[in-house]
Amino acid sequence: MVRQSARQASKTGAATAAAATATATATTATSVSITRIKKTVSAKSNGTGVKKETADVETKVEVKKTNVAKRKAPAPATIKDEDDSEDDSPVKKETAKKPAAKKRKTKVATKGDDNMILAPRTAVTSLKRAMYIGAHVSGAGGVQNSIQNAVNIGANSFALFLKSQRKWSSPPLAADAKTQFHAMLKQHGYDAAQHILPHGSYLVNLAQADKTKADQAYENFIDDLQRCEALGIRLYNFHPGSTGGETMAAATGRIAAQLNRAHKATKSVITVIENMCGSGNVVGSRFEDLRDIIRLVDDKSRVGVCIDTCHAFAAGYDLRSPEAFAETVAKFDEIVGLKYLKAFHLNDSKAPFASHRDLHANIGTGFLGLRAFHSIVNHEAFQDLPMVLETPIDEKGPDGKSVENKQIWADEIKLLESLIGADAGSAEFKAQAVELQAKGAAERAKVQDQVDKKAVKDAKKGTKKAKAAAPKKGGRAKKKDEDEDDEEEEHECGSGSD
């Protein structure tokens, strides 16, 4: 059975649902409501079933304009466990046990997630632009569960992992899971071909030069594409990979060759390359890398690009002001081509511009700021694309342990929708932007400090390297490799957070 819950939803959003988290100040609020969120944590119990533990987390929600929306959670399909990909959030997942429930016990049919509607879905037709905003939800216990998880946060698009993203082998897609996925899609009116964007495994590197490892990567990749086709999903997002120390041209060539092979082995799925932010060996941080892969793909209708806003910004593509946004979009169009743009990952950045650090921040709280997202959700050409949040939702519980608060995604979706057609010059918008910036100030200062310290360290290392490399034969090449390894580690993209 599913619990029903009335939820506060800020429709027009000026009030910034995203700001309405536990730490928001009460200065601008005109109404206050206390929302109780029931968290359900699942733990395996010896293969015989799932043990549930529940905990109540109190969240203070403050909004200026409040529409109370009541919505019934639909009856869930009977779910069978399909795989064991518990850790399937793009944001690091907390697996610590929660304290016992205070009053109510939750009965849920799905494993890993509760079935509470945290915000109603907005009818996209009611928006001034057809923006399909959602988040990367869990598919733990079977891909079919992702749909209820998307419904719960009011997502009009969503991402998921089709299998465990940190294991090389997973059980095949269960027939039941497929049937239920299609039934749930129909029930909730999601268009799998348009607005569902699975994320590939973090293990797969299609640029891999070693034959055995390249074959292993391909097998994992093609298995995911086949799952997409079985589920009616048309878009599949993946990280392009790493050069492994070889040239970028060799790497993009190998990626394209793997894509060509995969396209021939499947019928319809579009392989969507995610832009990256790392430097050194990371492929895809420059638009040119993406262009070079696409150039070598035989069937251009089967390849596309997903722009992760945090990655773009950290890689040196500015989006903060309307002018910078326009310039970056023009650059993308010129180098890659807007026709290849298939999706967005919407994340603010805890790290400063061009820092090559992959640290996702909540919308408006990072170095990008709210204005950047206003530009994106109001851009006509971006309509109908899936726009998926991969923002952090872990919060410290009363016991000091981290708990996931999916209300943050529900609120961020409403916040982004509220920006559509909103006047960015208004006092209200500016106040909202300032308020969100204040929330992220400490975190931004912390990362800025790290980046500054690293710059100093790198400068010193560069001086030492120059001195050391000069007299010794062979020393230079070795040093270079070591430095590249350092770079990759420091700037690693996709380390569980995107």
Closest to Zn ion by CB, 349 or 432: 349
Which of the ranges 73-81, 173-181, 300-308, 368-376 carries the binding residues for Zn ion, by CB under 5 A? Answer: 300-308
CA distance 187 to 196: 15
Residue 92 CA to residue 87 CA, distance in Å, equals: 8
User: Which residue out of 121, 136, 195, 199 is catalytically annotated?
Assistant: 199
360 is catalytic: yes
Contact between 50 and 111 (Cβ < 8 Å) = yes
Closer residue to Zn ion (CB): 2 or 368: 368
For Zn ion, the closer of residues 195 and 345 by Cβ is 345
Instruction: Tell me the three-class secondary structure of 442-475, residue by residue.
Output: HHHHHHHHHHHHHHHHHHHHHHHHHHHHCCCCCH
Let me know if 182 is a catalytic residue.
no
Q: Out of 239, 286, 374, 491, pick the active-site residue.
A: 239
**Residue closer to Zn ion (CB basis): 394 or 483:** 394
DSSP letter string, 358-402: --EE-TTTSSS-HHHHHHHHT-GGGTTSEEEE----EEE-TTS-E
Angstrom distance (rounded) from CA 342 to CA 195: 10
Q: CA dist 70 to 7, 56, 273, Å?
A: 6, 21, 39
**Is 274 known to be catalytic?**
yes
Q: With left for phi above 0 and alpha for psi between -120 and 50, is residue 141 left, alpha or beta?
A: left
Q: How far apart are CA 45 and CA 173, in angstroms?
A: 22
Cα distances from 384 to residues 187, 309, 417, in angstroms, run 20, 17, 13
- For Zn ion, which is the closer residue by CB, 38 or 345? 345
* Residue 42, H or E segment: strand 31-44
Closest distance between Zn ion and the C-beta of residue 478, in Å? 32
Q: Tell whether residue 348 is a contact of Zn ion (CB under 5 A).
A: no
Catalytic site residue from 166, 188, 261, 476: 166
Residue 202 annotated among the catalytic residues of the structure: yes
Q: Could you tell me what percentage of the chain is helix, strand and coil, using 3-state DSSP and rounding each to the nearest 5?
A: 40, 15, 45
Looking at the Cβ atoms of 120 and 496, the one nearer to Zn ion is: 496
| Residue span binding Zn ion (CB under 5 A) among the ranges 210-218, 318-326, 341-349, 423-431 | 341-349
Distance of closest approach, residue 179 Cβ to Zn ion, in angstroms: 29
Smallest distance from Zn ion to CB 314, Å: 11
Choose between 308 and 404: whose C-beta lies nearer to Zn ion. 308
> Which residue in 234, 254, 302, 345 is the catalytic one?
345
As a whole number of angstroms, the distance between CA 340 and CA 115 comes to 36
Candidate list 81, 83, 390, 417, residue with the active-site label: 390
Tell me the closest approach of the beta carbon of residue 305 to Zn ion, in angstroms. 12
Q: Does residue 406 contact residue 111 with C-beta atoms inside 8 Å?
A: no
**190 annotated active-site:** no
Give the HSE-up count for residue 201: Cα atoms under 13 Å, Cβ half-sphere: 23
Q: How far is the CB of 283 from Zn ion (least distance, A)?
A: 13
- Tell me the angle at which helices 211-231 and 175-188 cross, rounded to the nearest 10 degrees: 50
Give the separation between CA 319 and CA 382, rounded to whole angstroms: 15
Q: Which of 94, 113, 308, 488 is catalytic?
A: 308
Query: Do residues 74 and 46 touch, judged by C-beta distance below 8 A?
Result: no
One character per residue 301-340, x = contact with Zn ion (rule: CB under 5 A): -------x--------------------------------
Nearest-approach distance from CB 459 to Zn ion, in angstroms: 30
For Zn ion, give the closer residue by CB, 113 or 308. 308
Q: Active-site residue among 227, 357, 360, 444?
A: 360
Query: What backbone phi and psi angles, to 5 degrees, belong to 155?
Result: -85, 135
Distance, CA of 454 to CA of 449 (rounded, Å): 9
Count of residues in contact with Zn ion, rule CB under 5 A: 4
Q: Which of residues 258-277 bind Zn ion (CB under 5 A)?
A: 274
CA-CA distance, 434 to 440, in Å (whole number)? 10
Nearer to Zn ion, 5 or 149 (CB): 149
User: Does residue 88 interact with Zn ion by CB under 5 A?
Assistant: no
Residue range at the interface with Zn ion (CB under 5 A); choices 78-86, 342-350, 423-431, 477-485: 342-350
- Residue 379 annotated in active site: no
Task: State the sign of the Cα–Cα–Cα–Cα dihedral 144, 148, 153, 155.
Answer: positive
**Least Å from the CB of residue 494 to Zn ion:** 5
Provide, rounded to whole angstroms, the least separation between the CB of residue 456 and Zn ion. Answer: 29
Our finding on whether 345 is near Zn ion (CB under 5 A) is yes
CA 300 to chain centre: 25
| 491 given a catalytic annotation | no
**Closest approach of Zn ion to the CB of residue 271, in Å:** 14
CA 401 from centre of chain: 23
Q: Which residues are catalytic?
A: 166, 199, 202, 239, 274, 308, 311, 345, 358, 360, 390
**Which positions touch Zn ion (CB under 5 A)?**
274, 308, 345, 498
